[in-house]
């Protein structure tokens, strides 16, 4: 019976602080959308074959920002 109360209290605390699996999923979805937008922007900006190096750097930066965003969602 004590285990049941501990679980109930734990869930209540998580919800009280705004942490729900749905809010975390929403955060990650926002990160994904931002990443996709950034990659598209990179591709639009560096569409010439001579810009391959700059395109790679831009996409790597977007990937780094995406990972930071995901890390923030998980913390």
pLDDT digits over 24-42, tens only? 678 999 999 999 999 999 9
d(CA 70, CA 58): 18
Is 32 contained in some domain? yes
Asked whether residue 15 is domain-assigned, the answer is: no
What is the C-alpha separation between 69 and 62, in angstroms, rounded?
Answer: 10
Q: Is residue 16 part of a domain?
A: no
Whether residue 13 is contained in a domain is answered as: no
Asked whether residue 7 is domain-assigned, the answer is no
Residue 74: CA atoms inside 13 Å, Cβ hemisphere, count?
6
Containing structural domain, residue 50 = 22-74
Domain count, the chain: 1
User: Which tokens in the block code for residue 32?
Assistant: 């994904």
At 75, is the pLDDT very low, low, confident or very high (cuts 50, 70, 90)?
confident
Q: Give the per-residue pLDDT at 45.
A: 96
pLDDT recorded at residue 8: 46
- What are the C-alpha distances in Å from 20 to residues 13, 16, 29, 45, 55? 10, 9, 14, 38, 37
DSSP state of 1: -
Q: Between 18 and 34, whose confidence is greater?
A: 34
């Amino acid at each position: 019976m004590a285990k049941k109360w501990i679980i109930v209290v734990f869930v209540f605390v998580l919800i009280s602080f705004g942490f729900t699996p749905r809010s975390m999923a929403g955060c990650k979805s926002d990160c994904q959308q931002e990443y996709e937008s950034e990659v598209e922007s990179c591709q639009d900006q560096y569409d010439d074959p001579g810009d391959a190096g700059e395109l790679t750097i831009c996409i790597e930066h977007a990937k780094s920002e995406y990972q930071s965003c995901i890390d923030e969602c998980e913390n």
